[in-house]
Amino acid sequence: MTRTDEQRLIRLAAAGDKAAAEAFIREYQQPLFAYLLRMCGRPDVAEDMVQEAFVRVLTNLDRFDDRFRFSTWLFTIAKRLYVNACQRHKPTYDSDVVGGCEGGGFGAPEASAVGAEIHGHVKDALQAALLHLPAEQREILILFHQQDWPIALIAQHMDMPEGTVKSHLHRGRRKLRELVDANEEHSTRVAEVWT
Amino acid sequence: MTVGPGNNHPPRPDGELSAPARIPQSLVDAFLDGELDAARTRQLFEGLRADPAAGEELAKTRRILNGLKHTPVPRDTTHTVLARIHRRRHFLPLPLRRLVTAGRAGVAAVLLAGVLGAAVVQRVSPNAVRFTPAPAPIAAVERAGSDGAMQVRQSAGVVVETIRLRLAQPVADCVAIAADASCREPRVCRVEREPLSRVACGSDPLQRDWNWGTREIVFMTGAGNPAWNAAGGIALVEPQRAGMLPLGFLPGGDPVSMGRGLVGSPDSLLVLPAGAEVGAAREELLERLLRGAASEWHDSGDR
């Protein structure tokens, strides 16, 4: 969607045009869901947040600052919802969840894919590793490698200098790789024990 | 590139990817960041050809990063979202939406102003605004007495002061609660259920068919008749029967029975102990009565 199209649709949707609102939802629901799913690891929670983000954004379009992209605004609202949901799901005791909200916050950032499968929240080793990253690194990795956002846009979205974003990105990549490798190693050992 | 199976390069102490010396880490990062120009990309690929293990590591890292894009397709929530937005009337034409919003704000403002206004008036003049039937203050009764409205009768040596009140509803159909001999304190007794008339009228057959609309509270504060002194009670009587009260009220001169001066409200009966000071009990009695059914006081000039 070009910027001109986007601005035209925003004007229409703000005036109550249902088709324009629908166009926005169809355009962004998949990437937004993917982003939130990777952030929280829970499809049900991600889906709820997607809905809520669209409702909030589309009913407040008159407040939209057209210097920014619609997607940036949408993802910012979604991130706020994620942070709020994270606080609501925060465990009472530190021992409940390793790393707390930083580690995903929705009940099961597991140390291994085996454990993740037991809890049914995290279905793959990549997601398990992702949930063990600090939230900032996780979000930057997702925005850069999943959403293909440029560093400058991520810096604007995260409200941090581009250099800091890059630093988080590089560290996050290395950490993610280590976690995945460790997970694979663990799975291999488990397989060896059982065979 | 990292610690793990198939990695031929030892990990570096600072945790950097252990790429071979020919491939600087910054080059790998720049490649993964998509920032390499053609010349540096060529340099990287030459290095990777010379070090297949590093090439494999980089390929694996890219596979992992590409894996971030692989997420399930979400359920289409378009209609759900649109329905939720529709419930907020977002799809009304903008002028109409503004009108609805303004209307709601107007109604809220009017309600708020009404409540605030009533609160202010209530504070300035407590009797001006009444949302619920409020009991008349006892002070008003006392004032009625001091204005000369109190009617004093003397009959058989007993001084009887009369204050009229009108009950909110007739009590003819109500079942009042009579007292028995165990009631020795001023209190509401719920001993046995009897029609109020039987209690109030005692043995006087003439008073059994009272019209239970308007009542009087009769404070008997006189002296002379020992039975009345012992009674010291308050009776609920029909206005036109007030003159007959001494006879009607005294059930055969039985001091025990007389010890229960009576006042009724539709659901309560206050019983005074024999010989109680009427003055001491009156305020409590009136307060209880007013909290109950009394809605309007008027002095005896209405009679």
Predicted ipTM of the assembly: 0.80
Which chain B residue is nearest to residue A47, measuring alpha carbons? B74
Q: How many contiguous H segments (helices) and E segments (strands) does chain B have?
A: 11, 10
What's the confidence (pLDDT) of residue A33?
94
What's the confidence (pLDDT) of residue A15?
81
- Which has the higher per-residue pLDDT, B133 or B151? B133
Strongest mean pLDDT among A109-118, A152-161, B242-251: A152-161
Which chain A residue is nearest to residue B4, measuring alpha carbons? A181
For an interface test with B, which of A48, A180, A183 has the most B Cβ atoms less than 10 Å from its Cβ? A180
DSSP readout, B116-170?
Answer: HHHHHHHHH-TTT--SS-PPPPHHHHHHHIIIIISEEEEETTEEEEEEEEEESS-
Tell me: pLDDT of B172 over 50: no
- Which has the higher per-residue pLDDT, B276 or A131? A131
Kind of pairing between the strands at B158-167 and B268-271: unpaired
d(CA B236, CA B202): 12
Give SS3 for A22.
helix
Lowest-pLDDT choice from A89-98, A110-119, B77-86, B256-265: B256-265
Q: In this structure, are residues B198 and B176 in contact, taking their beta carbons and an 8 Å threshold? A: no
What's the confidence (pLDDT) of residue A37?
92
Tell me: pLDDT of B132 over 70: no
d(CA B183, CA A89): 61
Q: Residue B81 and residue A26: Cβ atoms within 8 Å?
A: no
How many other CB atoms are there within 10 angstroms of residue B266's CB atom?
A: 18
Q: Residue B2 and residue A15: Cβ atoms within 8 Å?
A: no
Residue B256: name the closest of B275, B235, B240 by CA: B275
Q: CA B37 → CA A147, A192, B44, B59, distances in Å?
A: 22, 45, 11, 19
Tell me: pLDDT of A104 over 70: no
Which chain B residue is nearest to residue A51, measuring alpha carbons? B81
- Chain A residues in contact with B32 by the CB 8 A cut-off are 173
d(CA B196, CA B263): 10
DSSP readout, A64-91?
Answer: --TTS-HHHHHHHHHHHHHHHHHHHT--
Q: pLDDT band at residue B119, thresholds of 50, 70 and 90?
A: confident
Q: Residue B5 and residue A47: Cβ atoms within 8 Å?
A: no
Which chain A residue is nearest to residue B86, measuring alpha carbons? A18
Q: Residue A43 and residue B74: Cβ atoms within 8 Å?
A: yes
Give SS3 for B3.
coil
Q: Residue B71 and residue A176: Cβ atoms within 8 Å?
A: no
Q: Please, which residues 72-111 of chain A have a Cβ atom closer than 8 Å to chain B?
A: none
Give mean pLDDT, residues B258-282. 39
Tell me: pLDDT of A149 over 90: yes
What's the confidence (pLDDT) of residue B102?
85
Q: Residue B64 and residue A177: Cβ atoms within 8 Å?
A: yes
Q: What is the pLDDT of residues B11-21, one digit of tens each?
A: 444 444 444 45
Tell me: pLDDT of B263 over 50: no
Interacting residues of B123 by C-beta distance below 8 A, sequence separation 6+: none
- Chain A residues in contact with B85 by the CB 8 A cut-off are 21, 54-55, 58-59
Burial category of B27 from C-beta neighbours within 10 Å (exposed 0-12, middle 13-18, buried 19 and up): middle
How far away is chain A from the Cα of B113, in angstroms, using its nearest Cα? 29
How far away is chain A from the Cα of B110, in angstroms, using its nearest Cα? 26
How far away is chain B from the Cα of A127, in angstroms, using its nearest Cα? 8
% chain B with pLDDT above 70 = 31
Residue B248: name the closest of B294, B200, B212 by CA: B200
Which residues are registered as beta bridge partners of B270? B188, B263
What's the confidence (pLDDT) of residue B85?
84
- Which has the higher per-residue pLDDT, B184 or B57? B57
Q: Please, which residues 105-144 of chain A have a Cβ atom closer than 8 Å to chain B?
A: 124, 126, 130, 141-142, 144
Place of tokens 């949302």: B131
- Chain B residues in contact with A173 by the CB 8 A cut-off are 29, 32, 61, 65
pTM, full prediction: 0.53
Tell me: pLDDT of B6 over 60: no
- Chain B residues in contact with A124 by the CB 8 A cut-off are 67
How far away is chain A from the Cα of B293, in angstroms, using its nearest Cα? 52
Strongest mean pLDDT among A161-175, B29-43, B62-76, B215-229: A161-175
What's the confidence (pLDDT) of residue A194?
67
What's the confidence (pLDDT) of residue A91?
52
Q: What is the pLDDT of residues B176-231, one digit of tens each?
A: 223 333 333 333 333 233 333 333 322 233 333 333 333 334 443 333 334 333 33
Tell me: pLDDT of A76 over 60: yes
- Which has the higher per-residue pLDDT, B273 or B28? B28
Give the sign of the dihedral formed by CA B184, CA B188, CA B192, CA B197.
positive
Give mean pLDDT, residues B51-80. 89
Q: In this structure, are residues B224 and B183 in contact, taking their beta carbons and an 8 Å threshold? A: no
End-to-end CA distance of chain A: 53
Tell me: pLDDT of A150 over 80: yes
Strongest mean pLDDT among B93-97, B102-106, B227-231: B102-106
How far away is chain B from the Cα of A26, in angstroms, using its nearest Cα? 7
Strongest mean pLDDT among A50-64, A92-106, B133-147: A50-64
d(CA B231, CA B13): 105
- Which has the higher per-residue pLDDT, B152 or A22? A22
What is the average pLDDT value for chain B, to the nearest integer?
Answer: 54
Which chain B residue is nearest to residue A50, measuring alpha carbons? B77
What's the confidence (pLDDT) of residue A75?
94
